[in-house]
Amino acid sequence: MDIFIPDSETKLYGLLGKTLSHSISPSLHNNGFRDLDLNAIYLMLEVKDRDLEEYILSLKNLNFAGWNVTIPYKEEIIPYLNGFSSLARDAEAVNTVLNRRGRLTGYNTDVIGFQRQIEEAGFVVKGKRAVIIGAGGAAKAAAAALIHLHLAEVTIINRTLENAAEVVETFREKTDKVEFDYKALKESEYKDKIKNADLIINTTPVGMYSKKGNNNIAINPEYLNEKQFVVDLIYNPLKTELLKEAEKRGAQIGNGLPTLIYQAEASFKLWTQEMPNKKKWKQIAENAVKDIEAKDIEAEE
């Protein structure tokens, strides 16, 4: 395999976040660049909270053509941008930035990715009820996608009730076609909402693989049932404890890998006006996650 060597004409892209060691985005985007013979490279852009403003200025000065944004900066980056797409404005969160001659425009391809995952899973959600666990940028993207899918009711449940309330008030102002509600992440508060939900989405990192064990689960799984579609936006491990418990009860399940791939495709198209090889990206993503899982297990041992 030929080694790509950047030059003065190479377009720079990357992933902006706080902890990026497990990201598979570079594997996807760099493969797309090489397949299409594009003179571009995708880099890891780790930055601490206190350095975010200075780092963004540096990216502009270095003429980065664009970058993705991940936890915890999908909302924090907003004050530093010059404009927004309609989806980014709806979600009030940004996961993709395009730099046009120093003018930074924020987009939200997470909305596109999540909506596409739900549609391609064949789970008809129009007129049904959903529960979103979490109240961060990913939760807002999911809520924005669900509005476009014409759900009847969306409930946000979160450990910090004030944050859930803030998300709900934001979306109530955007639409009166979907009923929004919120609950604390306490069993006595959320159990009826979980029982009656058709679609349940975990947008929190609870359940992500760690050396402390990967048996964490955000909610009591006893309230899950076979009529539901349970989506965990985590993809390491590919099947979290939440998904295992949902599967035991006969529910349809989905991890976060499809959303990751679909949002990456949308970002790639935005930056390059080209589409990557979808089948190849799916295989790359699956192999990368398996490699990460294997390395995590080996490190634990």
Give how far Cα 155 sits from Cα of 52, 92, 140, 221, Å.
32, 18, 12, 17
What percentage of the chain reaches a pLDDT higher than 70?
95
Q: Mark out the alpha helices in 121-254 (DSSP H runs).
A: 137-148, 161-174, 187-196, 241-248
Over residues 166-223, the pLDDT tens digits come to 999 999 999 999 999 999 999 999 999 999 999 999 999 898 766 455 458 999 999 9
Instruction: Determine the pLDDT at residue 170.
Output: 93
Q: φ, ψ for residue 75 (rounded to 5)? A: -100, -35
Domains 11-108+258-300 and 111-256 share a fold: yes
Q: Which residues pair with 67 in a beta bridge?
A: 14, 97
- Give how far Cα 248 sits from Cα of 151, 213, 244, 253, 263, Å: 26, 20, 6, 10, 29
Q: Does residue 60 carry a catalytic annotation?
A: no
Q: What is the pLDDT of residues 61-85, one digit of tens each?
A: 999 999 999 988 999 999 999 999 9
pLDDT in tens, 23-41: 899 999 999 999 999 999 9
Domain locations in the chain as residue ranges: 11-108+258-300, 111-256
Quote the tokens at residue 224: 């899950």
What is the model's pLDDT at position 71? 86
If you average pLDDT over residues 7-26, what whole number do you get? 93
pLDDT for 215 equals 53
List the CATH code of the domain at 11-108+258-300: 3.40.50.10860
Q: How far apart are CA 110 and CA 215, in angstroms?
A: 26
Could you please state the CATH topology (level 3) that the domain comprising 111-256 is classified under: Rossmann fold (3.40.50)
Beta strands in 48-203 (DSSP E): 66-69, 83-84, 96-100, 103-107, 129-133, 153-158, 179-184, 199-202
For the residues 285-301, what does the mean pLDDT come to? 75
Residue 297: pLDDT band with limits 50, 70, 90 = low
What is residue 294's predicted lDDT score, i.e. its pLDDT?
A: 72
Average per-residue pLDDT for the chain: 93
> Model confidence at 271, in pLDDT bands (50, 70, 90)?
very high
Residue 124 has pLDDT above 70, yes or no: yes
CA distance 193 to 205: 21
pTM: 0.89
Which has the closest alpha carbon to 181: 157, 204, 202, 199?
Answer: 157
Q: In this structure, what are the phi and psi dihedrals at residue 229, rounded to the nearest 5 degrees? A: -115, 115
pLDDT at 258 over 50: yes
Catalytic residue among 60, 74, 174, 290: 74
